[in-house]
């Protein structure tokens, strides 16, 4: 009787461990494009500084271009930033590399963290 309980408990534990591992694999599959965390300070900020300035510096010379000089300025319109870079509308004066577009997309999808 005691042995039987042990076996059943062991079986349930194995199932639990197995299902957890399975879930992790499942999640990785879904987010395969964004494997690595994208950092605002080391990736997104330098990218915006080099690719979106001077048009988005908020000095008024481009009145309809949202000010992207601060974290809040970018994070506040994060999904719009993702959209205009994915569709190629921005930057107005050129193109981003696939890697840069992906970095922005992944950062926005992660909730535009101040990391």
Binding site for ligand HEC (CB under 6 A): 48, 51-52, 55-56, 62, 64-66, 77, 80-81, 84-85, 90-93, 96
Round to whole Å and give the CA distance between 69 and 45: 9
Q: Looking at beta carbons only, is 3 or 50 nearer to ligand HEC?
A: 50
Q: Residue 83 or 113: which CB sits closer to ligand HEC?
A: 83
By beta-carbon proximity to ligand HEC, the closer residue of 33 and 93 is: 93
31 DSSP assignment: T
* Backbone φ, ψ for residue 114 (5° rounding): -90, 65
Rounded Cα–Cα distance for residues 17 and 39 (Å):
32
Q: Tell me the closest approach of the beta carbon of residue 97 to ligand HEC, in angstroms.
A: 11
């Amino acid at each position: 009787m005691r042995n039987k309980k042990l076996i059943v408990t062991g079986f349930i534990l194995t199932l639990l461990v197995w299902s957890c591992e399975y879930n992790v694999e499942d999640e990785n599959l879904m987010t395969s494009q964004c494997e690595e965390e994208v950092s605002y300070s080391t990736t997104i900020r330098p990218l915006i500084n080099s690719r979106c300035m001077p048009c988005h510096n908020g000095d008024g010379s481009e009145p309809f271009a949202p000010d992207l000089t601060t974290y809040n300025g970018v994070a506040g319109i994060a999904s719009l930033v993702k959209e205009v870079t994915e569709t190629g509308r921005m930057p107005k004066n050129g193109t981003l590399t696939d890697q840069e577009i992906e970095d922005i997309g992944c950062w926005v999808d992660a909730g535009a963290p101040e990391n």
